[in-house]
Each structure stands twice: as structure tokens, then as C-alpha cells.
């Protein structure tokens, strides 16, 4: 029979727990960091693409490049950032420790805003027949009702994008991140409540009772 | 970092800690788990059987006690004002067993009945056996050896469910095995916090020193164990000694039984709250362990209710919008979930918890336990244990309303 006092086991178990726990945290941090790295890569690629877009637009004005090519490049870029936005959303939902992802989100929002401006310009210069559909949503702390509404808006816009394809430039932007340029644009288009869908810088939609409510404004 | 992930991490830390603690204790003592203390001298042993309306089982209990291979000094049945034939059945054994005494008394509760029994018992050791429990033939002889150590105040065996055919009974048999196994391991660090009613042998001097059983406590066995711990007595457990007991067959009775256990625990926390982080293992392990269990259970339940409610409201609103407009409610994209590292940690912990439970069932060497199928095991881990926080809520309600009935 072992009758010796083994109370030191309490301490040993604590030390082992610290080791296992910290290893788990480390692995978790690594996992999340790898996701942030992936987003970082996507950002750099997107940034390059957008820069290329802007040069094309400038070149169109200065040396008269083909308008069709510029529109097509813009459409391709829109599809790309739409898919990336979906991926980033999933990573954000799954990241718990690495707050760098929030910073990345802001960078992407700025990039999308820049893209929106670019789209407006191309439409003006080339008379493109697509619609800019900018979706402003609450990012930081949406209420239950906002969450439900945003999930619904999100699915609805995805369906519209699938249906209309390159006729829609779908640009999701968080409207509550205190980014001055986005705030200024929201002020200009009198956006006070989130979520809201802004179509072609003219029509604001806060409430949708039918898909037609949006489709009738699309070109 | 948000508050919920921090709470989840806190739960994981505590789970890893207890898993590590039990694994270390197991590996350190695995060769001695089923050891039986040597019987170096004979102790005079009185057996007390408090009984209230136990006509179905009292006869078998008396026979199983007299069938013991340890010579008992006396068996005192304390018929606590039963309205059925418990007293008559017990008395029918008087001719057969000369060492049997039957005390028919007015109903005053189990603890008071036991205290009356302690007064008239003459043995050095007092075994308390529930009237629906049957000690195995060698249960007493395997336990009394512990009392060679003068500091031992109480010893208890492995309590095995007798009825284990139905699904619900089999779940309880898993639980009893895990409890017995962890109780044995806690014994190595002097942290046993209950010596259960079906069978426990007490040193009479120790019981007298603590003033007998607390008549105000609804679980007199838990209270007595805590009191003995406070007085510096050791509590021992022998996995090789067994007593069988009848476990509840209906959910409602099971729920009431568990609520009573919780209620008794709450009474003990209240009674001994002044000993927090004082008085050895009672203040440094047992009390904090019970309070932590209570806190984590309630916090977990609150978070669960909050998450479920907010998710339900949000989903209801979402589905409402979607159906009205005719958009899809579920898309492929919704189904492709990206797991967080907390999800991975949760799965790893669950897998370890399952392996631990399976290992316990194998170690306990009970054929009927080993035969548990994986469905029983998963149901036990995922559903059965999840009911405990709800029982805790009703126990708290009863506690604060002053309801103390069985």
C-alpha cells in the first residue's frame, strides 16, 4: 500500500498544465498568424491589381488606351475582391487571439473604397454598363437585429451577384470603423443607418421586401 | 481579445489541470489501485442500517450483512417510522440472527436515526449501510484494515449499481465507475470529499468527536466527511471492496436524488465557508473544488443560454427576412465552417476526456462496464453530464427557498 503523501502532485499537475496550455495557445497563435499571413498575401496582390487598374485608367486619359480592356480588368478585379471578402470574413469569424486581422480588415476596406472610386471614374470615362453596388455594414458590434439583417443582405447580394455576374460591382465596406475617407463618403451619400445598400451612388436601400426592390435599380 | 474566448480558455485550463492531476496520480499508483489493507487485528464492528419505507430491500440488506466474512458485533436496524412493512420484515429476522436489533422509532430523519444508533452501538467501528444496499461478502474485511492507521476516520468501498440493464441505468453505472476511480485517486492526496451512504465504516471515536451526523444537513454523509476532514481524520477508499446499491430507474427520481446531493453540498459550503483556504485539505481543496464546480457550472449554463437565445433570435429574424424575400436560408458557403483554434482545442479535450472515461471503465475491470458501447459513452459525456448545471439551478432555488425535503 502506498501511504506516502503525494500532495506535490497538485503542483506538478499545475506545471504540466501550464506547459500544455501554453503550447496550445502557441499553436493557436501560429494557426491564426498563418491566416493573417494569407490575408496579407491577398492584400498585397489586390493592392498591385488595383494599382494596375489605376494606371490603366490614367493611361486611358493620357494616351487613350482601349476602354473595353479597362472595363474588363475592372470587372475581373471586382470578382476577385468579392471572393476575397468572403474568405476574409470566414477567417475573421474564426480568429480569436490575433487582433492583427482587424487591422487587415481596415486595409481591405480602404482598398475596396479606392476600387469603388476607380469604378465610378471608369463608368464616367468609358460609359460602362455595370452597376456599383456598395454594401455598407456594421462590423464591430452589430445588434441581433443587425446581424440577422446583414446575414440576409449578404445572401441576397451573393445571389444577385451570381445572377447578374459582371453587371454588378459588389463592394462590401464596413461603415463603423472610423476611417475618415469612408466616413466622408457616407456623409456625402447621407448614410446614417447600417446596413445599407447604395446602388450607383444614387439609390439607398435599407429595407428589402422583394428582390425586385434592388433589381429594378440595376442596369 | 473578447471575453468569451477568455472564459473558454479558462475552462480548458481547468479541464487540462484535472486531467493531468488524475493521470499523474494514476500512473504513480497504478500498481496499488486494487490493493487491500492488511488485517492485522480484529476490530469490533457495529452495523447501522437506517430504514424508511424499505420493505422491498431491507430483508436482503440484513442477509447480506450477516453473510459477511467479517464477524460483526451487532446489526442495528433503525426503522425511522416507516409506513410500510419495513419494521415487520426486519423483526422477522430476529430469531434467525441473534446479533440483530430492530429499533422502531418515530420518523426523525436519517441523520437523527444514525445518531441514536451511534449512542447504543458498542463497536469500535461503526458501519453505516443504506437499507437498499448490499455489501459484498468480503467488503467489511477489506475495509477495516485501514483503521490500523489511527488517523483514519472513515473508509468506503466501490459502490456498484445493482440494476444496470436499462440504458439509463447503464449510464449511471459509467458515472459510478468514474466517481469511484477518481475518488480512489483523490485518496492518494487525502482529498476524498464524500464517503457515500450505501456503505461507509467510521471510527466510533471520530464520529463522537464530530458530534455524530448533522441532522440539519440533507446529505449527512458529505457533511460528516467534511467534518472529519476538518478534524484532521483521513478518509480512505478500497476499490476492491464493493457494495451494490439500487440506482434510480426513472429520470424524475434521478433528478431529485442529484438535486439532494447538490443541496447537501451547498449546505456544506455554507456551513464550512469560514474554513476557506484554512484547515488543510478541506479549506485548500475540497471547498474550493466544490465552489469552482458550482461557479463553472452556472457560468457555463449562463453562457450556453445566452448563446442559444441570441442565436435563436438572430436566426429567426434572418429566416423571416429570407423567406419573405425568397432568398436562400442556407448556402454552401454557410456550411463550410472555418474552425477557430478554440474549436480544435475543444475537440482535442473532448477526445482526451473520452479516452480517459474508456480507460477508467477498462481499469475498473467490470465486465458489464467494459461492454458499454460507444453510444452510451458519448451520450454520457455529451448529454448526461450536461444536465448537471440544470440540476444545480434547481438546487440553488431550493436552497435559497429553504426547501430541504428529499
Q: Are residues A92 and A24 in the same domain?
A: yes
Q: Are residues A17 and A105 in the same domain?
A: yes
Question: How many Å apart are CA B209 and CA B156, to the nearest integer?
Answer: 19
Contacts of A86-91 with CB under 8 Å at 24 or more apart are A86/B333, A87/A42, A88/A39, A88/A42, A90/B336, A90/B337, A90/B338, A91/A35, A91/A36, A91/A38, A91/A39, A91/B338
Give the cell for residue A87.
474568405
* Residue A23 touches chain B, beta carbons under 8 Å: no
Question: How many Å apart are CA B135 and CA B124, to the nearest integer?
Answer: 19
Is B138 domain-assigned? yes
The separation between CA B82 and the C-alpha centre of its own chain, rounded to angstroms, equals 26
Q: Are residues A203 and A106 in the same domain?
A: no
Is B223 domain-assigned? yes
Question: How many Å apart are CA B384 and CA B378, to the nearest integer?
Answer: 9
Number of folded domains that form chain B: 1
Kindly report the three-state secondary structure assignment for every residue of chain B: CCHHHHHHHHHHHHHHHHHHHHHHHHHHHCCCCCCCCCCCCCCCEEEEEEECCCCCCHHHHHHHHHCCCCCCCEEEEEEECCCCCHHHHHHCCCCCCCCEEEEEECCCCHHHHHHHHHHHCCCCEEEEECCCEEECCCHHHHHHHHHHCCCEEEEEEEEEECCCCCHHHHHHHHHHHHHHHHHHHHHCCCCCCCCCCCEEEEEHHHHHHCCCCCCCCCCHHHHHHHHHHHCCCEEEEEEEEEEEECCCCCHHHHHHHHHHHHHHHHHHHHHCHHHCCCCHHHHHHHHHHHHHHHHHHHHHHHHHHHHHHHHHHHHHHHHHHHHHHCCCCCCHHHHCCCCCHHHHHHHHHHHHHHHHHHHHHHHCCCHHHHCCCHHHHHHHHHHHHHHHHHHHHHHHHHHHHCCCCC
Burial class (CB in 10 A: 0-12, 13-18, 19+), B168: middle
Q: Are residues A34 and A108 in the same domain?
A: yes
Give the cell for residue B229.
476532514
Give the per-residue pLDDT at A121. 86
Question: How many Å apart are CA B287 and CA B299, to the nearest integer?
Answer: 18
Give the best residue of A5, A8, A9 to mutate against chain B (max B CB count within 10 A).
A9
Is B212 domain-assigned? yes
Whether the CB-CB separation of B58 and B85 falls below 8 Å is answered with no
Give percent of chain B above pLDDT 90: 70
Q: Are residues A217 and A179 in the same domain?
A: yes
Whether the CB-CB separation of B117 and B110 falls below 8 Å is answered with no
The candidate with the shortest Cα–Cα distance to A97, out of A18, A32, A177, is: A32
pLDDT tens digit sequence for B58-89: 999 999 999 999 999 999 999 999 999 999 99
Residue B70, domain extent: 34-286
Contact A96 B37 (CB under 8 A): no
Average of pLDDT values for A59-80?
A: 77
Whether the CB-CB separation of B73 and B46 falls below 8 Å is answered with yes
Give the cell for residue B145.
484494515
pLDDT tens digit sequence for A10-63: 999 999 999 999 999 899 888 888 888 888 888 788 788 878 877 777 777 677
Give the per-residue pLDDT at A130. 87
Q: What is the CATH number of the domain that holds B179?
A: 3.90.550.10
Which of A96, A128, A160 terminates a domain? The answer is A128
Whether the CB-CB separation of B223 and B213 falls below 8 Å is answered with yes
pLDDT tens digit sequence for B98-133: 999 999 999 999 999 999 999 999 999 999 999 999
Find the CB nearest B341 among A27, A148, A149: A27
Per-residue pLDDT for A175 more than 60?
A: yes
**β-bridge mates for residue A163, sequence order:** none
Whether the CB-CB separation of A171 and A112 falls below 8 Å is answered with yes
Average of pLDDT values for B224-252?
A: 94
Contact A28 B345 (CB under 8 A): yes
The model scores a pTM over 0.90: no
Question: How many Å apart are CA A140 and CA B249, to the nearest integer?
Answer: 50
Question: How many Å apart are CA B80 and CA B103, to the nearest integer?
Answer: 8
**β-bridge mates for residue B245, sequence order:** B133, B161
pLDDT mean across residues, chain B: 91
Q: Are residues A17 and A101 in the same domain?
A: yes
Number of folded domains that form chain A: 2
Q: Give exposure, A54-68, as e/b (b: 16+ Cβ within 10 Å).
A: eebbeebeeeeeeee
Which of A113, A128, A143 terminates a domain? The answer is A128
Question: How many Å apart are CA A35 and CA A91, to the nearest integer?
Answer: 7
Give the best residue of B314, B333, B337 to mutate against chain A (max A CB count within 10 A).
B314
Give the per-residue pLDDT at A97. 66
Find the CB nearest A144 among B5, B149, B310: B310
Is B278 domain-assigned? yes
Lowest mean pLDDT among A69-73, B258-262, B300-304: A69-73
Question: How many Å apart are CA A148 and CA B313, to the nearest integer?
Answer: 8
The candidate with the shortest Cα–Cα distance to A196, out of A116, A137, A121, is: A137
Is B258 domain-assigned? yes
pLDDT tens digit sequence for B49-61: 999 999 999 999 9
pLDDT tens digit sequence for A21-32: 999 989 988 888
Give the per-residue pLDDT at A16. 95
Contact A96 B17 (CB under 8 A): no
Nearest chain A residue (CA) to B310:
A144
Give the per-residue pLDDT at B150. 93
Compute φ and ψ for A135, nearest 5 degrees: -110, 105
Pairwise pLDDT comparison (B374 vs B235), residue with the higher score: B235
Give the per-residue pLDDT at B406. 58
Per-residue pLDDT for A1 more than 60?
A: no
Residue A17, domain extent: 10-128
Per-residue pLDDT for B367 more than 60?
A: no
Contact A147 B314 (CB under 8 A): yes
Is A3 domain-assigned? no
Is A81 domain-assigned? yes
Is A2 domain-assigned? no
* Residue A91 touches chain B, beta carbons under 8 Å: yes
Amino acid at each position: 500500500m502506498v501511504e506516502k503523501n503525494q500532495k506535490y502532485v497538485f503542483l506538478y499537475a499545475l506545471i504540466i498544465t501550464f506547459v500544455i496550455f501554453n503550447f496550445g495557445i502557441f499553436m493557436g497563435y501560429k494557426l491564426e498568424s498563418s491566416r493573417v499571413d494569407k490575408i496579407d498575401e491577398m492584400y498585397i496582390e489586390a493592392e498591385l491589381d488595383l494599382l494596375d487598374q489605376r494606371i490603366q485608367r490614367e493611361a486611358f486619359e493620357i494616351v487613350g488606351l482601349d476602354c473595353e480592356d479597362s472595363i474588363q480588368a475592372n470587372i475581373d478585379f471586382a470578382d476577385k475582391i468579392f471572393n476575397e471578402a468572403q474568405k476574409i470574413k470566414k477567417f475573421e469569424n474564426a480568429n480569436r487571439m490575433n487582433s492583427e486581422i482587424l487591422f487587415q480588415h481596415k486595409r481591405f476596406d480602404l482598398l475596396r473604397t479606392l476600387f469603388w472610386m476607380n469604378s465610378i471614374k471608369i463608368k464616367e470615362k468609358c460609359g460602362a454598363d455595370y452597376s456599383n453596388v456598395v454594401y455598407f455594414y456594421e462590423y464591430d458590434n452589430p445588434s441581433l437585429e443587425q446581424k440577422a439583417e446583414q446575414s440576409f443582405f449578404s445572401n441576397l447580394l451573393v445571389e444577385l451577384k451570381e445572377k447578374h455576374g459582371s453587371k454588378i460591382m459588389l463592394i462590401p465596406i464596413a461603415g463603423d470603423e472610423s476611417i475618415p475617407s469612408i466616413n466622408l463618403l457616407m456623409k456625402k451619400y447621407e448614410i446614417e443607418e447600417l446596413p445599407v445598400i447604395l446602388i450607383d451612388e444614387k439609390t439607398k436601400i435599407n429595407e428589402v421586401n422583394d428582390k425586385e426592390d434592388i433589381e429594378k435599380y440595376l442596369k | 481579445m473578447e471575453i468569451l474566448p477568455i472564459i473558454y480558455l479558462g475552462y480548458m485550463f481547468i479541464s487540462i489541470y484535472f486531467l493531468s492531476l488524475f493521470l499523474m496520480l494514476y500512473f504513480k499508483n497504478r500498481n496499488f489501485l486494487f490493493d487491500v489493507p492488511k488485517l492485522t487485528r480484529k476490530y469490533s464492528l457495529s452495523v447501522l442500517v437506517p430504514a424508511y419505507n424499505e420493505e422491498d430491500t431491507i430483508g436482503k440488506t440484513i442477509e447480506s450483512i450477516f453473510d459477511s466474512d467479517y464477524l460483526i458485533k451487532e446489526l442495528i436496524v433503525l426503522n425511522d417510522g416507516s409506513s410500510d412493512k419495513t419494521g415487520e420484515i426486519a423483526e422477522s429476522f430476529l430469531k434467525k440472527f441473534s446479533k440483530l436489533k430492530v429499533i422502531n422509532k418515530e420518523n426523525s430523519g436519517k441523520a437523527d436515526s444514525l445518531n441514536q444508533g451511534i449512542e447504543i452501538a458498542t463497536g469500535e467501528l461503526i458501519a453505516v449501510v443504506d437499507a437498499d444496499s448490499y455489501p459484498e461478502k468480503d467488503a467489511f474485511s477489506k475495509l477495516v484494515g485501514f483503521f490500523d492507521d489511527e488517523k483514519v476516520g472513515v473508509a468506503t468501498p466501490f459502490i456498484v449499481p445493482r440494476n444496470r440493464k436499462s440504458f439509463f441505468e447503464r449510464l449511471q453505472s459509467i458515472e459510478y465507475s468514474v466517481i469511484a476511480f477518481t475518488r480512489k485517486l483523490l485518496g492518494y492526496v487525502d482529498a476524498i470529499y464524500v464517503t457515500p451512504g450505501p456503505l461507509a465504516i467510521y471510527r466510533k471515536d471520530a464520529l463522537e468527536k464530530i458530534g455524530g451526523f448533522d441532522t440539519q444537513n440533507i446529505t449527512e454523509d458529505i457533511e460528516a466527511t467534511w467534518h472529519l476532514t476538518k478534524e484532521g481524520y483521513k478518509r480512505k477508499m478500497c476499490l476492491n471492496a464493493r457494495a451494490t446499491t439500487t440506482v434510480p430507474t426513472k429520470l424524475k427520481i434521478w433528478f431529485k436524488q442529484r438535486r439532494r446531493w447538490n443541496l447537501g453540498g451547498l449546505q456544506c459550503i455554507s456551513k464550512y465557508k469560514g474554513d476557506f483556504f484554512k484547515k488543510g485539505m478541506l479549506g485548500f481543496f475540497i471547498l474550493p473544488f466544490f465552489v469552482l464546480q458550482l461557479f463553472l457550472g452556472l457560468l457555463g449554463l449562463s453562457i450556453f443560454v445566452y448563446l442559444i437565445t441570441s442565436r435563436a433570435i438572430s436566426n429567426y429574424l434572418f429566416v423571416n427576412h429570407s423567406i419573405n424575400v425568397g432568398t436562400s436560408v442556407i448556402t454552401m458557403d454557410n456550411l463550410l465552417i472555418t474552425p477557430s483554434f478554440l474549436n480544435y482545442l475543444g475537440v482535442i479535450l473532448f477526445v482526451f476526456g473520452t479516452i480517459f472515461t474508456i480507460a477508467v471503465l477498462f481499469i475498473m475491470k467490470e465486465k458489464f462496464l467494459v461492454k458499454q458501447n460507444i453510444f452510451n459513452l458519448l451520450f454520457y459525456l455529451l448529454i448526461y453530464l450536461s444536465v448537471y448545471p440544470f440540476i444545480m439551478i434547481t438546487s440553488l432555488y431550493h436552497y435559497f427557498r429553504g426547501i430541504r425535503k428529499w
